[in-house]
Amino acid sequence: MSDALLSVRNLTIDYIGAETDFRAVDDVSFDVAPGEVFGLAGESGCGKSTIAFAVSRLHGPPALIRKGSEIRLAGRDVLGLDKRALADFRWREVAMVFQSAMNSLNPVLRIEEQFYDVLRTHTGCTRKEARDRTAEMLTLVDIRPERMRDYPHQFSGGMRQRIVIAICMALDPKLVVMDEPTTALDVVVQREILQRIDELRRQRGFSVLFITHDLGLMVQFCDRIGVMLSGRMVEQGPSEAIFRTPRHDYTKRLWASFPSLKGGVLG
């Protein structure tokens, strides 16, 4: 697919050990189109997070990406980026939201300062411009702009996670990688946040690489899903097809292990 935003080809990643190496990702290929939400499903340990880190170029030793692997974002060779290009690539091209992202806010800095740090570093904007952008972004995630004067502890967990998402969106990245972005939150807050992300995606047109253990959420939120088993991608396709007519035995077993999905999440 040449018009893909993200193109992953033959991605192979080992964790290098003292005695033996462990192949966490084995010859995985997939594309994510502009504006698309692509989900990675599969049991714990199958390599989903390892892929998410590699795509964001946040992996480090002992993870080693093997020769022949290719990751392209908007045509750029992600694995070939040097240190300088990488600083620009992160946030501007790709932003990552983790499960514990809400704890990544600096507890002693007002929210306003935390936005300013990211915006100034990447755009060289003035304080006034940063403040305007912060107000705009907070509004997008349903937080009153005047609360930019507050500190992280003055917000609930769900609000803190929304603030991190707003910071991630502030530079208009092309791709947002979300690894269990709402897992630490209660179910109602989870749904609210995902709905908000979905609206933002429609407005701003970014793509999402989405990882969650919650298969119901996955089917509901993703346009397409790739199913992983022991480092390999065994099946990929439109969510509805993967859910309703899975071809691989493992996918069938995966859905079967979540009886709540039988009611038909897709309606």
22 binds ligand ATP (CB under 6 A): yes
How many residues bind ligand ATP, per CB under 6 A?
Answer: 12
Closer to ligand ATP by Cβ: residue 50 or 182: 50
Per CB under 6 A, which of residues 57..96 are in contact with ligand ATP?
62
47 binds ligand ATP (CB under 6 A): yes
As measured in angstroms, the least distance from the Cβ of 9 to ligand ATP is 19
Closer to ligand ATP by Cβ: residue 45 or 80: 45
Q: Which of 21, 45, 104, 139 binds ligand ATP (CB under 6 A)?
A: 45
172 binds ligand ATP (CB under 6 A): no
50 binds ligand ATP (CB under 6 A): yes
- Give the contact letters, 128-167, x = binds to ligand ATP (CB under 6 A), - = no: ----------------------------------------
49 binds ligand ATP (CB under 6 A): yes
44 binds ligand ATP (CB under 6 A): yes
CA-to-CA dists, residue 232 to 6, 48, 67, 244, angstroms: 18, 10, 17, 21
Give contact residues for ligand ATP (rule: CB under 6 A): 15, 22, 24, 42, 44-50, 62
